[in-house]
Amino acid sequence: MAVNYIYPDYEVARNYDKCINCRVCEKQCANGVHEYLADADKMVADDAKCVNCHRCVALCLTRALKIIKSDNTYRENANWSGKTINELYRQASTGGVLLSSMGNPEPYPVYFDKILINASQVTNPSIDPLREPMETRVILGAKPQVIERDKSGHIINNLPPQLKLSMPIMFSAMSYGSISYNAHESLARAAEELDVLYNTGEGGLHEDFYRYGKNTIVQVASGRFGVHPGYLKAGAAIEIKMGQGAKPGIGGHLPGSKIVGDISRTRMIPEGSDAISPAPHHDIYSIEDLRQLVYSLKTATDFKKPVSVKIAAVHNVAAIASGIARSGADIVVLDGFRGGTGAAPTRMRDHVGIPIELALASVDKRLRDEGIRDRVSVVAAGSIRSSADIVKAIALGADAVYIGTGALLALGCHLCRNCHTGKCNWGIATQVPELTKRLNPDIGYKRLVNLLNAWKHEIKEMMGGMGINSIETLKGNRLMLRGVGLNAKELEVLGIKHAGE
């Protein structure tokens, strides 16, 4: 119907002087954009099917392809943008909820980009990480400051279980099912080589990956998929997922079409059945219920594994985090509203939750005001994009960060934000065998290792510039930060001064 017609957002621009009709683009596009017309001996493209994932662009050996933003436009309207109009048309024709993937792309302020880092000049020397030791090791877990000594007066190690990381970066929860086996293998192998941790997400742990246990955080979410005693004991830590930054307040839905073979077995649900994670944990309607689950999991693992609780950054996050810290959790994970997802209702993703920078600052402050900051480690997630973001997050008060989108980008993701279609051309967010094989973990894991090593170098350089040679003394060191272009209230929440002050 004509009223349903929506002009494509992007157009495939082919330079016919360069196109040699090799048909690589045609074979590589799972969306069927490209087609070879034998009679005309010519490649053509259907822009309407293009999701702008850049698979064809990247593989075109003559650089004959590019994707350009369509200049087709409605009559300009500062209130009714073309995007808003199109979304409305789409809903008018389907009656459905709009779905989106990956993180919130809307132009809300990115506070990390309005924070600047300090460096030493004159009164205190900067430190060259190439010449002097520069420590990035981070130890996560509760740190009760109780000194116990043996009979001869020696201090004994009475700490609850801790997680040792070579750098303050972990790969965040992405379930097997939402991403492919090869993506998981890449993450697990990279975590092992880097001596950091990756997170299984809520889809259980494939039997092949038990061997990476000491670098694995196993997740328990409201659907409890793939959770059994062996699973809980397999990892270095257990994470209870209460919420996700991309879709606070709602659960998850992995369509039955993706519950095939190993995924069905790993999740312990029948093939073809939808995997629906309820919005809340139905055994947790209050904070005291959370405490019970924390201790159930600790008991099931003989109190040998730290338990982390992940929440979406919402308005009252400081009080909630404080409650979590008092509920026996060793780690609290804050997931900001820009965090990624394999699928979320667009309105939830784009309009619910708060930025991680503000959530982190207010949680760190609240825990300190209450004198319980040592009881719990704080991990920041939800769009950590670079080593500079990490340095800023740690100076605001995080112990470590999770990266999800960043890790996927290293694996080849081009942020086309169509994970929910299950046709990821880069072999990441798909279970179609012909597509998943496009991600060779030998390449993928190495790229993750490269990325984190590069970031580690940069973190060391920035620390050295500040005259800091151990990441512990960067944690919560907000004097090392200054805001630019922020108002007094924003500065107050972030607990930092304005540049020039």
Contact residues for another protein (CB under 8 A)? 17-20, 22-24, 27-28, 58-59, 61-64, 120, 123-125, 127, 132-133, 135, 137, 139, 143-145, 147, 154-159, 162, 368, 371, 373-374, 433-434, 437-438, 440, 442-443, 466-470, 472-480
CB of 281 to another protein, least distance (A): 31
**Residues whose CB is less than 8 angstroms from the CB of residue 274 and which lie 6 or more positions away in sequence, other chains included:** 253, 254, 255, 256, 259
CA distance 135 to 167: 8
Q: What is the 3-state secondary structure (H, E, C) of 202-249?
A: HHCCCHHHHHHHHHEEEEECCCCCCCCHHHHHHCCEEEEECCCCCCCC
If the CB atoms of residues 20 and 268 are measured against another protein, the closer one turns out to be: 20
CB of 331 to another protein, least distance (A): 14
CB of 27 to another protein, least distance (A): 6
If the CB atoms of residues 386 and 473 are measured against another protein, the closer one turns out to be: 473
CA distance 184 to 175: 8
CB of 162 to another protein, least distance (A): 6
Sheet with 115-117, edge to edge strand ranges: 115-117, 481-483, 497-498
Angle at 165 between CA 371 and CA 307, to 5 degrees: 55
* Cβ atoms of 200 and 238 closer than 8 Å: no
CA distance 175 to 267: 10
CB of 83 to another protein, least distance (A): 33
CB of 110 to another protein, least distance (A): 23
CB of 288 to another protein, least distance (A): 25
CB of 185 to another protein, least distance (A): 12
Which stretches does DSSP call E strand in 65-155?
65-69, 99-100, 115-117, 138-140
- Look at the block and give the residue holding tokens 């702008």: 52
If the CB atoms of residues 229 and 371 are measured against another protein, the closer one turns out to be: 371
Residue at 27: amino acid letter = K
CB of 390 to another protein, least distance (A): 16
Pairing state between β 307-312 and 115-117: unpaired
CA distance 202 to 240: 9
User: Six-digit token pair at 219?
Assistant: 């997740």
If the CB atoms of residues 21 and 386 are measured against another protein, the closer one turns out to be: 21
User: Six-digit token pair at 425?
Assistant: 């051309």
What is the dihedral sign for C-alpha 404, 405, 411, 413? positive
